[in-house]
Structure 1
Amino acid sequence: MIRHFLLLVLIIFSINLSAQESKEWAERLNALEVKLDPNNKRFELQELNKALHSIWKSDTELNEIMRHTKKLQVVKSEDLEMVVVAFGTNTYSGVYQLEWLVSYAGKSWSYSEEVQITEAKSNVPLIINITQKQEDIYSVSIHRGKKQLISASDMVTKGLFEDLQMLTEDTQKDSLNNIIEKQLMRLWTDKEYYENTFSQLKRMKTLHSKDGRVKVCTYNIQKEGFKQQFYGAVIINDESIIVKPLTDTSDKIKSPERSTLSDKKWYGALYLDMIETQSGNQTYYTLIGYKGHDEFMKRRVLDVLIVQNNRIRFGAPVFKTDRLTRNRVVFEYSAKATMMLRYDTNQKMIVFDNLAPADPMFRGVYQYYGPDFSYNAFKFSKGVWELKKDIDLRNPKRQ
């Protein structure tokens, strides 16, 4: 009897404590209205996000908060499985800071976004929409008046990518990535999503060819010992959607600059840009990629993708350097250095830092290489990317 009484007292105490925390949280949100310092506002919004992530256990806490403030917006999906919560305020001039949280299947994720706005008023309401496209695929959009702040095609995959970054063991990462790959395959194979840039999946880079025929999605996972493993797919837009999942076999490719590869034998990279060129009837999709780094070296790559009869091939003898012609170009340099490698749309060239050893005695030992403040470029002519040395660049951007 005494045990039951003590349990009842504990439950009542927990409910009262939860109600008090919810009320205090709402009062902090309301108090933002009178704050003037934008840095203070930014900090407080982020702290409120963390606090809500901790307080929010069920609808009870949200209902209690909404008793004390109208500045929190809450929307549920039609199947009641997903809940999206959002709040925010103007910080700097022309900037709105949105804090939003998502709950689904026992998981919760929180996000913070700064969005450029033209509406100066601080009391413009947030509008949240959740649309269930397929089982486990929910798109979410958040508007502030007519301004779209967020458009996420698949909130579950977005959240799983966030979970992936928190794991430390390779076995855990591999297990979760298997789920992510299955989820992505559903998006990749659906023609409705072909034009989608998946901009809210920030852990994955998505590139579209200008001719509308090819889409390339890539992402990486850092494994133990600085090992980088790459994943993704080439999606071909034909009469139907054809998906070619990519298998990273970088460690087994002994001569990457001379190798012709396929989707099943891929020199994995996170592709940051795609340049489309034509020679005769052949279209070349040249890819600028980042291969990550270990404790000594970074690597970047120029590769080329060819699509024929709905088959794909990586690598072709189109990179002409001095007397050599390579299937792809691999840049290796010190992990402490930064290298500029980008496509210059004005000059229509791939421009990059010339890499050299810090001392001539380290020639060929790439962990001691870095930019020497001169620049080279590849310019496409007569079916090949031809090397141009010592070009003049103004204000190059490094990555």
Structure 2
Amino acid sequence: MVKVKLYIIVSLLAGSLVVNSQSLKQWGEQLNKLEQKTDPNNKRFDLLELSKGLKEIWRDENDINEVLHHTNKLTVSKSADKKMTIAAFGNSTYQGVFQLEWLVQYDNRIWSFSEKFNYNGSKSSSDFTYTLSGSDADLYSFQINDGKQEIVDAIDVVTKCKFEELQQMQGNEQKDSLNTVLLKRLNFLWSDKSKFETSFKQLKRMKTLISDDEKVKICTYNIQKEGFNQLFYGAVILNDGDLKVIPLNDTSPKIKSPERSTLSDKKWYGAIYLDLIQNQSGNKTYYTLLGYKGHGEFVKTRVIDVLIVQNGRLRFGGPIFKSDRITRNRLVFKYSAKATMMVRYDSREKMIVFDNLAPTEPMFRGVYQYYGPDFSYNALKFTKGVWQLRKDVDLRNPKLN
């Protein structure tokens, strides 16, 4: 009886190996046929499906070696310590656009990423230069270069993968546990002075901004908790001779009057900052921040804040936002989760322009789930140390307002 069971198990394993070998061969053949297709949309779809398929059938190093027997369109990079393997392939889709798929195997898991970039050269991803390198700190950098431009510049592949893993998790406890690991890695990157000018553009889940004077760098990201609750994380890195990393502690729920509050890194009105505008007035430098606070079930929130650095200490908010006779420390906009609000800096006119928000009916005044853009625009102009509100701006010709 034992021998029969053992025979069945061995047979099943052998059958599984044969099936997987056939799948790997078919995958390689599908990649070979991709260049014969001409429809850009079909090629885009097929590239994504090939990435998904490889993720499903890739189990270990032998699988990648098997695929390489059936195609020369796949490029494989391995770290010196053999802990990480990266497989990359791609093809031209629309005219002048190349789509690159790359998958990372690390710590018995696989992550997949997709890049699109302008490229008018060869149609084969094998013409690119791939560089995967590790360090004693367990950091793995990965670059893809076509000889003219850096297509991928991942300063730490593991951190990039951890961000993706964080997005896939469901429970708060799991997210908090992984975020602790993620913050440890980020702090290592933030503290490296040689990386201060790095924009971390491959860490797409985190927004990184650097001031014009290159003295302030701000990195922010968010975690969506259960019940549409948003919690924000990040750091301000000061570069004034020595490098100083100041973590940001989001206490948004405890801040009852954000537009009137002056805050700090320990009491921060958390947001993902999308833009940073540097202004000077007298001997003070103002770093104005355009931020997004995510959304709840019914309401989205945007914020325009200001950061002031004094003697290595941070102050968020200041009485520089003026509207008629009212002065605020920051501006907070709340509107329907179904709507979209425009807030951007017009560098040519040196103004922050944004949609004017209004309720759909007068009876809903103050009930922000019914607010949205009313097709008029306002602007903020920095004059004599304050952002002065200008209402009903014509964006086609702001100078006439």
Q: Report matched runs for 1:285-304 at 5 Å.
A: 285-304=287-306
Q: Deviations over 1:333-391 (max 9, x none)?
A: 12222111111111101111111222222222222222222111111111111111111
**Conserved? CA contact 1:343–1:350, under 8 Å:** yes
Which runs of structure 2 are paired with 1:167-316 in the superposition (5 Å)? 167-316=169-318
Q: Show the counterpart of 2:49.
A: 47
- Structure 1 counterpart of 2:162: 160
The two structures, once aligned, show a CA RMSD in angstroms of: 1.6
- Residue 37 of structure 1 deviates from its aligned partner by 1.6
Report the counterpart of residue 14 of structure 2 in structure 1: 12
Q: Distance in 2 between matches of 1:23 and 1:395?
A: 60
Q: How many residues align?
A: 396
- Aligned match of 1:150: 152
Aligned partner letter, 1:112: S
Other structure's SS at 1:195 match? coil
Counterpart residue identity of residue 361, structure 2:
D
Equivalent AA in structure 1 for residue 58 of structure 2? W
1:124 and 1:144 in contact (8 A); partners too: no
- Distance in 2, matches of 1:22 and 1:365, equals 56
Tell me the CA shift for residue 121 of structure 1: 4.1
CA deviation profile, 1:199-246 (whole Å, cap 9, x unmatched): 011110000000010000001111111111111000001222101100
So what's the TM-score if we normalise by structure 1? 0.95
1: CA distance, partners of 2:191 / 2:217 = 12
Q: Judging changes above 3 Å, is the alpha-carbon distance between structure 1 residues 27 and 320 closer, same or farther for their aligned structure 2 residues?
A: same
| Partner of residue 70 from structure 2, selected from 56, 68, 80 | 68
| Cα distance in 2 between the residues matched to 1:79 and 1:336 | 49
Residue of structure 2 in register with 1:356 after alignment: 358
CA–CA separation in structure 2 for the residues paired with 1:386 and 1:256: 19
Aligned to 2:95: 93
Does the alignment pair 1:390 with 2:401?
Answer: no
How many angstroms apart in 2 are the aligned matches of 1:134 and 1:89?
Answer: 35
Structure 1 window deviating more from structure 2 (263-272 vs 12-21): it is: 12-21
User: Kindly tell me: are residues 10 and 257 of structure 1, through their superposed partners in 2, closer, same or farther at Cα, counting changes over 3 Å?
Assistant: same
d(CA) in 2 for partners of 1:342, 1:307: 23
**Preserved CA contact (<8 Å) 2:216 2:237:** yes
Runs of 5+ unmatched residues, structure 1:
none
Structure 1 residue 44, shift from structure 2 partner: 1.4
Q: Distance in 1 between matches of 2:373 and 2:7?
A: 73
CA distance in 2: counterparts of 1:76 and 1:308, whole angstroms: 46
Greater alpha carbon shift after TM alignment, 336-345 vs 206-215: 336-345
Separation in 1, partners of 2:384, 2:125: 59
For residues 103-157 of structure 1, give each alpha carbon's deviation from its aligned partner in whole angstroms, at most 9, with x where no partner exists: 1111210112222102154475233211224422111012345443211111111
Q: 1:57 to 1:384 in 2, by over 3 A?
A: same
Instruction: Provide the secondary structure at the position in 2 that maps to 1:202.
Output: coil
TM-score w.r.t. the length of structure 2 is 0.95
Letter in structure 1 aligned against 2:351: M
